């Protein structure tokens, strides 16, 4: 599920690509997780109007997408909101496509009961330094510094094999950790909500600042259209979603989509934007980031 996929050419519906130079293809990156494949299926498979734009898409783990954004390799990319703070001068955030909401944050888990006052002494697996999950761990436990990076899908095994004392899990692992005998120490998203009264900004869609305003607005509309199509035709993307998450059963895939795709995915709105800005304010105030992102939304 987390292996990189070669770039694929995606043509718009109908014949609106006629005369479009191949150099005008727009590179797009997103994860193979069910929420992203649900969101982008209609857009990348010509099920909705792409307004003359042509996309090459690839799929890989969100932390790798973060790194690609740092290297400015993609025109449009899903990325962690926390990581975006490091590339805001090169990218802006689209209104559509975000993973942002309530009761959907990362969990800190272990195989033993551990008092929260001991968190600072633990070795903790994280799904990437640049992930929002890592920010939320630092937000809740500033003194938790013994961190080790793992691919998000390997964190449960790392805990069970004693490579770390605890781990921050994201994505579908929220639905599987208990089956493996692991215990929740704290819901880091819930802690954020309690402290801020705001939804949790996990990941968003970033687009190059250098792209024309017209194309940015087109892409925003296309992604929104793709999500609305997916909600209206929930079985349409089943094969695409399933083939990129083969190890999940249908129920887990369904729960994954229900948890991470919501009204904020269609449009961040004022509340969503306020939550994103608040995260940067908190990160800047706590010296987790050194520069406050400016002019970030398309």
Q: Give the catalytic positions in this structure.
A: 171
Grouping H, G, I as helix, E, B as strand and the rest as coil, residue 166 is: strand
- The DSSP 8-state label assigned to residue 6 in this structure reads -
CA proximity to 197, closest of 265, 260, 140, 271: 271
| Longest CA–CA separation in the chain, Å | 64
Number of H helices, E strands in the chain: 11, 12
Query: Measuring CA to CA, how many Å separate 244 from each of 3, 113, 225, 226?
Result: 10, 34, 22, 18
Query: Measuring CA to CA, how many Å separate 287 from each of 284, 291, 294?
Result: 5, 9, 17
Contact in structure between 28 and 76 (CB atoms under 8 Å): yes
Q: How far apart are CA 193 and CA 233, in angstroms?
A: 32
Give the strand order in the sheet containing 124-126. 147-149, 124-126, 166-169, 107-110, 183-187
Grouping H, G, I as helix, E, B as strand and the rest as coil, residue 125 is: strand
Instruction: Output the six-digit token pair for 113.
Output: 């009961």
Contact in structure between 127 and 151 (CB atoms under 8 Å): yes
């Amino acid at each position: 599920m987390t292996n990189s996929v070669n770039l694929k050419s995606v043509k718009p519906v109908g014949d609106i690509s006629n005369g479009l130079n191949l150099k005008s293809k727009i590179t797009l990156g997103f994860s193979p997780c069910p929420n992203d494949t649900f969101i982008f299926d209609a857009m990348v498979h010509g099920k909705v109007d792409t307004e003359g734009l042509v996309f090459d898409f690839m799929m890989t783990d969100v932390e790798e997408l973060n790194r690609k954004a740092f290297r400015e390799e993609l025109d449009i990319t899903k990325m962690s909101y926390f990581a975006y703070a490091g590339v805001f001068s090169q990218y802006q955030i689209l209104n559509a496509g975000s993973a942002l909401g309530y009761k959907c944050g990362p969990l800190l888990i272990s195989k033993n009961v551990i008092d929260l006052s001991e968190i600072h002494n633990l070795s903790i697996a994280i799904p990437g330094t640049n992930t929002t999950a890592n920010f939320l761990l630092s937000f809740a436990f500033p003194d938790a510094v013994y961190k080790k990076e793992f691919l998000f899908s390997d964190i449960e095994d790392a805990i069970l094999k004693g490579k770390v004392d605890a781990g921050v899990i994201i994505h579908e692992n929220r639905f599987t950790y208990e089956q493996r005998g692991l215990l929740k120490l704290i819901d880091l998203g819930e802690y954020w909500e309690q402290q801020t009264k705001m939804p949790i900004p996990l990941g968003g869609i970033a687009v190059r600042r250098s792209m024309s305003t017209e194309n940015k607005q087109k892409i925003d509309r296309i992604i929104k259209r793709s999500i609305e199509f997916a909600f209206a035709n929930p079985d349409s993307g089943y094969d695409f979603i399933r083939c990129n998450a083969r190890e999940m059963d249908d129920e887990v895939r369904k729960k994954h989509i229900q948890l991470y795709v919501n009204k904020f995915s269609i449009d961040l709105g004022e509340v969503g934007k306020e939550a994103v800005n608040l995260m940067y304010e908190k990160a800047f105030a706590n010296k987790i980031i050194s520069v406050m992102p400016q002019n970030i939304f398309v």
